[in-house]
Amino acid sequence: MKERKHLLINLVIERRRRARLLEKRGRQMIWACVFLLAGIILYFLYSSIRIYTLQGDIRELDAKIESLRPTLNYADQLQKQIDALKPRLQLINKLRENVLIWHGLSLELQRLLPLDAWLDNVSFSPAAGGNIQISLSGKSLNYESIGDYMLRLQSAGHYQSVNLKSANLTKIAEREVVQFQMELQTIPIEGGSQ
């Protein structure tokens, strides 16, 4: 019988050891759950604070965007005005180039004119291939001056055709003059109107 007591005693110690071990493991599990729960709560708390601060930053940025919206709208309006004015600016630049060319042609037409002739009207118009069509009308004291003018124009080297359209004798203040009309076409001019 003594042997049995000894066995029972050993089992009691083992049971106590197991109970303590289970109690210790239970406490460890409880502490692990508490720490895990505290970690989750801290993570959610940090995330909430971060979300709140980000929402504040987003509200500030939205307010800045709204404050800049009138400036952006004004810039868009200015860009539309610039785009609308670009064709005009191109036309002005092209006219500026052409004015220099046409002014030079006007001076040359005047320089080649004989002393006993004068021009009443000179008009320029663009022709195909970069040429310029020039229409002249004027008066001369005789037909020879008109012929001389045509020869001077042809020998100048800037005109590919010089055509006399009409030459009629008329009177101005009891003096007979020859009224004439001519058409000229320049050789192609670089940078001229097309």
The pair of structure tokens assigned to 11 is 């089992």
Residue whose C-alpha is closest to residue 148's, from 105, 104, 178, 175: 178
The low-confidence residues of the chain, meaning pLDDT below 50, are 1, 191-194
Residue 8 in 3-state DSSP? Answer: helix
How high is the pLDDT of residue 148? Answer: 93
Domains, the chain, with CATH or none: 93-186 (3.30.1360.100)
Sequence-distant (≥ 6) Cβ neighbours of residue 114 within 8 angstroms: 140, 145, 148, 149, 152
d(CA 194, CA 31): 92
Write the pLDDT tens digit of every residue in 25-53: 888 989 989 999 999 999 999 999 999 99
Short-list 113, 122, 170, CA closest to 147: 113
| Whole-prediction pTM | 0.49
